[in-house]
Amino acid sequence: MTALNPESILIVRPSALGDVCRTVPVLVSLRKKWPDARIGWLVQDNFAEAVSAHPSLDELIPFPRSRMRSAWRSPKRMLEVLRFLRMLKGGDWDLVLDCQGLARSSLFSRLSGSSRRVGFSEAREFGWLLLTDRVPTVSTHIVDRTMELVAHLGADTEPDMRLHAPPDSIDGWQDSDLRPASAYVVLAPRSRWGTKEWPMDKWRGLIEELSARGHRDFVLVGSADERDSLERLIGMLDGRDGPRVVSMAGRTTVGDLMAIIRSATLVVANDSAALHVAVGFSRPMVGLFGPTDPREVGPYGALDQVIRHAGATGSGHDYRSRSVSLDSMDRITVAEVVERALEVLEPGA
């Protein structure tokens, strides 16, 4: 292997789902530069479907994160961890790109056995210590920063964000009794972090206003933990003559989520993975941002479809801070979300 002709390349980007989606341009760029190389991706097992069907990918290394946490208490889980490590080491990787920039991802890069490990010079948790190529980055958006790793290797950067849903998920949603018969709007009202959430009563107002303008079918997406709150949202609506709303919270795999968004007429979401999936399928969207800065982490190439008030503060991981104001999302009104939604649904109208 030489620096310019690797026979095998491993991308290390285990999580989170939105970040995995945003790393797809790295895969496309590497494939274009080295069309004959074997390219693999180390990804958290429950996010694997985000990239499993991508035509530029040859191999997946699923990372069993949840089971590794308690592996020391279970011989069965410890064996699973050992199988994962053997798979990682047995790949005979010539080149590894650590696109996560944390201690864990850096360790995985080192355990791969590759002699060439490329990552961010500013990797957190001292993750840069195990890298051979520590690349300083200057770009603002995380997609552009990650692509600087590719440029470091002499490859042209391809900002190709296209995603590919697993065929089984596409067929399953097509045949599902829960799929609306007509065009539908996907809503992702919840977030892991409360500071990033638009108030639930405003989601109710959005559904009612869009329904009054002829958009009658809505699909709510979220995790199993969010199911009850989304069912309460449905309960706040007029169930007889009002909008038709179905919740898929807790009923979907990542592949199913991709299939649902792939066929949506519009996606409205807080700063969450749903926006990045929408980018991957070129779906119209409205992204609602408060404590996070869309210039850094917003839907790539679609920042004109984002609402964030000028007075909102925060960037990076500030949404986790107790000092961040909780009202930055509340400042966004139903009227302005409806207006933006109609603009992206009916451009030029």
Bridge-partner residues for 91, per DSSP? none
- Region 147-176: what's the mean pLDDT? 97
How high is the pLDDT of residue 43? 97
User: Which residue in 187, 212, 217 sits closest to 286, CA to CA?
Assistant: 187
pLDDT digits (tens, 9 = 90+) for 69-116: 666 566 677 777 778 888 898 899 999 999 999 999 999 999 999 999
Cα–Cα distance for residue pair 125/131, rounded to 1 Å: 13
Tell me whether domains 8-152 and 167-345 share a fold.
yes
With residue 245 as reference, give the H or E element that holds it.
strand 244-247
Which of these, 158, 276, 262, lies nearest to 219 by C-alpha position? 262
Mean pLDDT of the chain: 92
- For domain 8-152, the CATH architecture is 3-Layer(aba) Sandwich (3.40)
User: Does pLDDT of 168 surpass 80?
Assistant: yes
Q: Are strands 184-188 and 266-270 parallel, antiparallel or unpaired?
A: parallel
Task: Return the pLDDT at 264.
Answer: 98
Nearest to 82 by CA among 44, 111, 110: 111
What pLDDT is attached to residue 4?
74
Task: Name, in order, each residue with C-beta under 8 angstroms of 43's C-beta and a sequence gap of 6 or more.
Answer: 13, 14, 15, 20, 50, 51, 60, 61, 62, 63
What's the pLDDT tens digit per position in 3-46? 579 999 999 999 999 999 999 999 999 999 999 999 999 999 99
CA–CA separation, 135 and 121 (whole Å): 5
H-run or E-run covering 69:
none
Parse the chain into domains and list their residue ranges: 8-152, 167-345
Which of 135-139, 293-297, 307-311 bottoms out in mean pLDDT, i.e. has the lowest?
A: 307-311
Q: 177: Cβ–Cβ under 8 A, 6 or more apart, which residues?
A: none
Residue from 64, 83, 65, 154 nearest 118 by CA: 154
- What the block records as the tokens of 102 is 């944390």
Residue 216 has pLDDT above 60, yes or no: yes
Say yes or no to pLDDT of 254 above 90. yes
Q: Give residue 2's pLDDT.
A: 46
Q: Give residue 313's pLDDT.
A: 76
DSSP state of 272: S
Residue 334 to residue 336: CA distance in whole angstroms = 6
What is the pLDDT, as a whole number, of residue 319? Answer: 63
Q: In the chain, what percentage of residues exceed pLDDT 90?
A: 81
What does pTM read for this prediction? 0.94
Asked if CATH classification 3.40.50.11900 holds for the domain at 167-345, the reply, yes or no, is no
Cβ burial, residue 136 (10 Å; 0-12/13-18/19+) = exposed
pLDDT of residue 90: 87
Q: Which residue has the tokens 């809503």?
A: 187
Residue with token string 């944390």: 102
State how far Cα 132 lies from the chain centre.
28
